[in-house]
Amino acid sequence: MSRMLSEHQLCFIISRVRMSFKATCLLLSVLSSVLGNVLDNRVDDFWSELCSLPPGLRREIQSYGPIVEKIIEKTTKDFKGETWRSLSEFVDKFGPRMSGSQSLEDSIDYMVDQMSKAGLDAYTEEATVPNWKRGFEAATIISPRKTNLPILGLGSSVGTVAEGIKGDVVVVETFDELEALPDSAVTGKIVVFAQKWESYGKTVKYRSSGSSVAAKKGAVAVLIRSVTPFSLGTLHTGDQDYEEGVNKIPAAAITVEDAMMLLRMFRRGEKIVIHICMDDKDLGLTKSRNTIGELKGRKKDSSVVVVSGHLDSWDVGVGAMDDGGGTFISWNAVKFLKAMGLQPRRTIRAILWTGEEQGYWGARSYQANHSRNEIEEFNFFIESDIGTFMP
Amino acid sequence: MSRMLSEHQLCFIISRVRMSFKATCLLLSVLSSVLGNVLDNRVDDFWSELCSLPPGLRREIQSYGPIVEKIIEKTTKDFKGETWRSLSEFVDKFGPRMSGSQSLEDSIDYMVDQMSKAGLDAYTEEATVPNWKRGFEAATIISPRKTNLPILGLGSSVGTVAEGIKGDVVVVETFDELEALPDSAVTGKIVVFAQKWESYGKTVKYRSSGSSVAAKKGAVAVLIRSVTPFSLGTLHTGDQDYEEGVNKIPAAAITVEDAMMLLRMFRRGEKIVIHICMDDKDLGLTKSRNTIGELKGRKKDSSVVVVSGHLDSWDVGVGAMDDGGGTFISWNAVKFLKAMGLQPRRTIRAILWTGEEQGYWGARSYQANHSRNEIEEFNFFIESDIGTFMP
C-alpha cells in the first residue's frame, strides 16, 4: 500500500536534488531504461522541470550518449531477465517480510551477502521499526443471514476482547454521512465504511483514520471496504493511525463485495449484527536494519547518489510488487554498473529500506542519522515504490 | 463454473428447436434486449442459422414489430432496474445455494412464492441432486519454506485421512509432461498441475480429470491451478470426476500465484513438501426440485417455450453471476409479459434448474420425466448461463 507513501517520499527526495548531474545522468539512464513506462505523472512533472537546463549542461549530458547507449545495450541484452529471476527467487525464498519478523531480518542478511558477492561495499545501519503482530482474525455476520465475513486487520489495530465484539451495524459511504447521524445512533455499534473508490489518495483516508472518526462518535469497531478499484473478493490490509486521546477500537478491512452487500442490507432497513474476533497485538518497537550497497565513485570529495526501494512488506503477500520490484531494479542498477566495470564520478548508494509499510521507519532512522551532513552527503535521492511490471 | 456446462446444454437446447416461431419471436425479442451483448460467438453462429428463414416467415415475424417495440420500451423504462434489484435482494437473502443445502431448498420455496405473486402458475418438480459437503480444508507448504497454502476442494473430491496427506511434490504444466515421467517419479507424490491458461474449454480438463490422470501414475493427491485467466490470489472451485476403477485421490484448487511459485521452485530443483488436510464428504444423492413458473398460452394444443437458468450455486460464492443473473432474466422475461397483460399464443415456461453445478442433475431429472412427450411438449428451449452484466 505504498502510492501515498512514495508521493510523500518523492517530495522528500526532490528537496534533496542539487543541479550537478554528471555521474547522476548515467545512473538515471540505466534506471529509466529499466523502469520503462512505470514513471507516473508526478515523475513526468518532476522530469520536465529537471529538463529546463542551461544549454552548456545539456551539451555535457549529451556527451555521455555513447556510454549511456552501452549501458542500455548491456542491461537489455546481457542482463535481460536477471532482475526478474533474482527477484522471483528472493520472494519465493523469504515470502512476507513484515517489520519485526525473522523473515525480514534473514532477507536483510541475504541481501548483504548478495551485494558483497556482486562486488559492492555492503553494510547495514540500525533502524527502529514497529512490531505489530497479526493474530487470529475472524468475523461472522449473525443477522440478517449467518455467514462468514472475511476480514483482515489493519496495521496497528488493537485486538478485541477474547470473546470478541458483537454489535449492531451502521453502514455509511462517507465521513459526512456518519457525522450527520446523532451520536446515539452510533454509540456501541460497529461502523462499516462502504466508501466509493475514487483514487488511492482520496479513498485511503477511510482506512487511515476511519477508526478515530468512528470512535469519536462512540463506535466499538470499524470495518473498512478494502481500498482498491477492483476486487475478486480481495482483502487489502494497510496502515492506520489512532488519533491522540481517542479510544482505540479494532479496525479491519472487508471485501468490496461484502461492503456493498452490507450497504444494500442497511439501506433496505435490515437489522445487521456482526461478531468480530481479533487477536492482533502491538509489541512496541524493535530493531531492524537498512541495507546498503555502494559503488564507490572516483571523485573522493563528492556527495553520493542514492537509489532505493524498501525490503519490508505486509505479512499477507510476498511483497513482489511492493516493493520487491523497486528494491531489485534499484540495487541491480548499481550491480550492473559494477559488472560492466564502470566507475562513476560520484558514489552510487543502493539503500533497501526497512520498516516502510508501517510509516517509513527505516527512512526516518536514516534521516535522523544522516541529517547532520545531509547537504554534504547527498547529491540525488530516489526511491522506486510506484509499482513495477513484467520485464 | 458454467461456460462448459452451458455449451453442453446449448447443444441439448438446439436439438429441441423446431421451426415454428410465432410466439417464440416475441419472447426472444424481450430476451435479446435484456441479454444485450452477452451472447457470445456460439450463440451468434446459432442465430445466423436461425435467420435463414423463408421470406413468408420473415414477413410474419416482422409483423410483430409494434408489440416487440412496446415490450422493449416497457422493459427498459417501467421495469428498469427491477431485475437487478430483485436479484441482489435474492442473493443477499440466501447467499450460496449448494445442492443438498437448506439454503437452496429455502430459495426454491421463495421463488415459487415470488412466481405466484407475479401471477404465474408456479410449481416444482422433484429432481435428484448430489449432496457433497465441503468440510475443513487446509494445506501447508512444509519445504522449501513453511507457509500456508490456500486451497479449495473440487466438487466430488474425497477427503484425506484425518492426519492429512504429507508428500513430496511433482509440478507439471501439461498431462504430456506427467505422462513422460516414469511411474516411479510420481508414485506416492502430490501432483501439482500448473497448466497455462488457454481458454476455459481447453484448460478445464486439468480440473475435470486431473485427479484420475495423476492417480493412474500413482499420485496420492492433486492440486490444480485455478481455472481462470486472471487472479488476485483467487481460488476457483468447480466439478471434477473420477474415472471408473481409478483410485479416488483428493483434488483441490490452488491459486494461479501459488501454482506458478511451486513451478518455479520445482524447476530450480528445490525439494517441495506439502501437507494437505481435507474433510470433504460425499453424502450420496438427495432430493431437490426444479422450480417452474408458467404464463399460459391462448392456443390450447400448442407446445411450450422454455426459458431457464439454474438456481443452485457453489458454496463459496453467492451465485449472483452463475447463475442468479440467468435465472432472473429468464423468469423476469415471463413476469414482465404477465405484468403487461400480454397473453402469448404458446405457453411460456420459466424453469429454474436445481443441481446444475455438479452435472446438470436438475435438467437430467426433467429430461427423464418429460422425454416421453418431448416432441409434443416443447417448441423452443433456452438456458441462460453464459454470464450477465451490469444493467
- For residues B220-249, average pLDDT: 97
- Comparing C-alpha atoms, which of A197, A195, A198, A188 is closest to residue A209? A195
pLDDT given for residue B40 in this prediction: 41
Phi, psi angle pair for A129, to nearest 5°: -135, 160
CA distance B20 to chain A (A): 44
Q: What confidence tens digit (pLDDT) does each residue in B180-216 have?
A: 999 999 999 999 999 999 999 999 999 999 999 999 9
Give the model's confidence band at A141: pLDDT under 50 very low, under 70 low, under 90 confident, else very high: very high
Please report residues of B whose CB lies closer than 8 A to that of A233.
Answer: 234, 317
Q: Does B106 touch chain A (CB under 8 A)?
A: no
Q: Tell me B253's DSSP state.
A: E
What confidence tens digit (pLDDT) does each residue in B99-112 have? Answer: 999 999 999 999 99
ipTM comes to: 0.87
Q: Which residues does A18 contact at the CB level (< 8 Å), separation at least 6?
A: A303, A379, A380
Domain A135-279 has CATH 3.50.30.30: yes
C-alpha distance from B87 to closest chain A C-alpha (Å): 12
Taking a C-beta distance cutoff of 8 angstroms, is the pair B309, B321 a contact? Answer: no
Residue B16 has pLDDT above 70, yes or no: no
**Which carries the bigger pLDDT value, residue A329 or residue A24?**
A329
Residue A270: how many CB atoms within 10 A of its CB? Answer: 16
**From the CA atom positions of chain A, what is the Rg in Å?**
24
**Averaged confidence pLDDT in chain A:** 88
pLDDT band at A298 (very low <50, low <70, confident <90, very high): very high
What mean pLDDT do residues B24-40 have?
39
Closest by Cβ to B145, choosing from A93, A145, A261: A93
The residue annotated as part of the active site, out of A356, A357, A376, A377, is: A356
- Determine, for residues A89 and B268 on separate chains, whether the beta-carbon distance falls below 8 Å: yes
pLDDT band at B174 (very low <50, low <70, confident <90, very high): very high
In the predicted structure, residue B46 carries a pLDDT above the cut 60: no
pLDDT digits (tens, 9 = 90+) for A316-347: 999 999 999 999 999 999 999 999 999 999 99
Write out pLDDT tens, residues B313-361: 999 999 999 999 999 999 999 999 999 999 999 999 999 999 999 999 9
Q: Map residue A188 onto helix, strand or coil.
A: coil
Has residue B15 got a pLDDT over 50?
Answer: no
Asked whether the predicted pLDDT for residue B268 surpasses 60, the reply is yes
pLDDT value for A198:
97
Other C-beta atoms within 10 Å of B47: how many? 12
Give the confidence band of B302 by pLDDT, cuts at 50, 70, 90.
confident
Say yes or no: do domains A67-131+284-383 and A135-279 share a fold: no
Per-residue model confidence (pLDDT) at position B87: 97
Task: Tell if the CB–CB gap between A92 and B234 is shorter than 8 Å.
Answer: no
List, for residues A342-371, the tens digit of each pLDDT value.
999 999 999 999 999 999 999 999 999 999
Contact between chains at B145 and A268 (C-beta distance less than 8 A): no
User: Helices marked H in chain A — which ranges?
Assistant: 3-14, 22-35, 41-50, 55-63, 65-76, 82-94, 102-117, 175-180, 200-203, 205-216, 256-267, 325-339, 361-370, 374-377
What span, in angstroms and rounded, lies between the C-alpha atoms of B272 and B142?
7
Contact with chain B for residue A93, Cβ under 8 A? yes
Instruction: Check residue B17 and give its pLDDT.
Output: 35
CATH topology of domain B67-131+284-383: Aminopeptidase (3.40.630)
Predicted local confidence at residue B18, as pLDDT: 30
The reply to whether B356 belongs to the active site is yes
In chain B, where the domains are located = 67-131+284-383, 135-279
What average pLDDT score do residues A214-223 get? 98
Shortest distance, CA A232 to any CA of chain B (angstroms): 7
Q: Residue B43's pLDDT is what?
A: 47
Return the percentage of chain A with pLDDT > 90, whole number. 79
